[in-house]
Amino acid sequence: MYDYRIFISHAWRYGDEYNRLVNLLDASPWFSYYNYSAPKEKPLALSSPHASYHEIAQAITAKIQRAQVVLVIGGMYTLYHDWMKYEVDEALRMGKPIIVIMPWGSSYIPVDLRAKASKVVGWNAASIVSAIRELT
């Protein structure tokens, strides 16, 4: 089975949504992937806890570079715009497809994020996995 290489743009404060997405992907039949994200349990490898913006940006860029596709949890984007915007813009710069996942129970996606998305999908495993396969 093929291992898709993904990066999930997210905010640690909303770790439950990140974990729910990972659980959806893990439970998807006939789908295997490698997660290049930096969850709270496995943060970026930085030289110090007080790393500079530049060092953090370089570490994020390196992770996105290894991924084939970037997933964005749309509900977090408005609240955590700065780093998530950086991740989305880096993915665009590198020509990586961006899959935006609509917030659970909502249909609102910020206009600027929607414009950058290769595809917008609902919060369900079949849609997300299908989009990953289609765009990689």
Q: Are the beta carbons of 99 and 121 closer than 8 angstroms?
A: yes
**Rounded-to-integer distance, Cα 18 and Cα 2, Å:** 23
- In this predicted structure, the answer to whether residue 53 has a pLDDT above a threshold of 70 is yes
Give, rounded to a whole angstrom, the gap between the first and last alpha carbons of the chain. 15
Higher pLDDT, 111 or 134: 134
Find how far residue 78's CA is from the centre of its chain: 14
The closest alpha carbon to 33, from 136, 119, 102, belongs to: 136
Q: What is the pTM (predicted TM-score) of this model? A: 0.87
pLDDT for residue 84: 84
